[in-house]
């Protein structure tokens, strides 16, 4: 694995990471608009984290920074990925709650955005609702948040390894 990491410079790895984020967002759009799976507030929060991570990694790839810049982008990318992983973990936790402990379903996000203050909307998006407990789709027995958590962990690792990769140049 170490040889694979050293095979490409950090710029290539940052680009691969950013394209992975945008591919996952594309899959989410497909599931929403073609398969008609409505995203819950935590799903939307995970998409925002994926988009943010994709932008950070894309900027790092375009910038092609010196070693100090690689370290900064790596740490920033890792922090965004860990934040996204925390959101995914909360979503997984809600999905595994007993039915009597699942939070109540709230109003739709469109209604919340139109009628609630921004702080209340963000709180709802990060806490989740009863809608977040539904598992509508799985792949290999894993729900979307479980797959997304694995992706965030992989991208955090990829980002963090670039510090070591740049030091090898």
What are 57-74's pLDDT values in tens digits?
999 999 988 889 899 999
Q: Can you list the alpha helix ranges (DSSP code H) found in the chain?
A: 2-7, 10-33, 41-63, 67-95, 109-115, 118-127, 144-167
Q: What is the pLDDT of residue 167?
A: 54
| Residue whose tokens read 């209604």 | 111
Q: For 16-25, what is each residue's pLDDT tens digit?
A: 999 999 999 9
Q: Is the pLDDT of residue 136 over 80?
A: yes
Q: Is 2-94+136-167 in CATH node 1.20.1550?
A: yes
Nearest to 77 by CA among 35, 123, 14: 14
Phi/psi at 152 (nearest 5 deg)? Answer: -60, -40
User: What are the structure tokens assigned to 150, written together?
Assistant: 């694995």
Strand partners, 142: 139
Nearest to 165 by CA among 11, 42, 35: 11
Q: What is the pLDDT of residue 169?
A: 46
Percent of the chain with pLDDT over 90: 50
For 90, residues 6+ apart whose C-beta sits below 8 A from its C-beta are 42, 126, 127, 128
Alpha carbon distance 49, 83 (integer Å): 7
List the single range of 6-10, 25-29, 65-69, 105-109 with lowest mean pLDDT.
Answer: 105-109
């Amino acid at each position: 694995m170490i040889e694979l990491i050293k095979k490409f410079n950090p710029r290539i790895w940052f680009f691969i990471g950013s394209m992975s984020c945008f591919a996952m967002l594309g899959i989410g759009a497909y599931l929403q608009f073609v398969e008609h799976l409505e995203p819950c507030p935590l799903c939307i929060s995970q998409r925002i984290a994926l988009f943010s991570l994709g932008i950070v990694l894309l900027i790092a790839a375009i910038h092609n920074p010196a070693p100090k810049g690689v370290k900064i982008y790596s740490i920033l990318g890792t922090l965004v990925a860990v934040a996204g992983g925390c959101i995914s973990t909360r979503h997984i936790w809600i999905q595994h709650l007993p039915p009597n402990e699942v939070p109540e379903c709230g109003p739709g996000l469109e209604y919340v955005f139109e009628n609630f203050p921004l702080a209340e909307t963000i709180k709802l998006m990060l806490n989740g609702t009863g809608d977040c407990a539904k598992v509508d789709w799985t792949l290999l027995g894993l729900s979307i948040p479980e797959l997304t958590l694995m992706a965030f962990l992989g991208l955090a690792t990829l980002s963090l390894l670039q510090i070591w990769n740049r030091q090898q140049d």
